[in-house]
Amino acid sequence: MKHYFLGKFTRSDSKESDDSPEALLKGNLKNQISAVLQRQMKDANSKKAASYFWGNTGWVIEQAVLESNDIVEWLDDEDIDRYFERVLPELMRLLQKYRSSCDDPNGYGFAVINELDLKLIELARDYQLHVRPE
């Protein structure tokens, strides 16, 4: 049984030694996003360990976390505005994929992505960025 080390979802990069307001804000955003992913991966690992009860639910959650993580990783030199402009539509596409997936009949993968999407919308609004209506 493969368990992902929770450190894979790293908190703010050491490269970000810049103390500018943008860098501090970016570091804070990374930490909050990482916390959501880490909590979900912990849940996936516990469900995989109890697969006799949960079936493939842990693997569905894990896959959703990994796909979400690929989307929410920051690109080099990506500013906060561009980050949200890129990530929110990509997460919406991933949500649609999971909504119509036969591999996620109980909606656990969808719930993982939806939680992250809602958190990102909340963060974007907190930082007064334009986001799509709910």
H helices of 5-75, in order, are 21-49, 51-54, 57-72
Q: What predicted TM-score, i.e. pTM, was given to this entire model?
A: 0.82
| Domain positions in the chain | 18-126
Indicate the length of the chain as a whole number. 134
Give the list of residues 6+ apart from residue 108 with CB closer than 8 angstroms, or none: 57, 60, 61, 64
Note down pLDDT in tens along the chain; length 134 residues. 444 444 455 444 545 457 888 888 899 999 999 999 999 999 999 999 999 999 999 999 999 999 999 999 999 889 999 999 999 999 999 999 999 988 888 999 999 999 999 999 999 988 876 555 55
Q: Which two tokens stand for residue 41?
A: 């991966």
- Tell me the C-alpha distance between 50 and 42, whole Å: 13
Q: Which secondary structure element, helix H or strand E, spans residue 94, and what is its range?
A: helix 80-99
Predicted confidence at residue 2, as pLDDT, reads 47
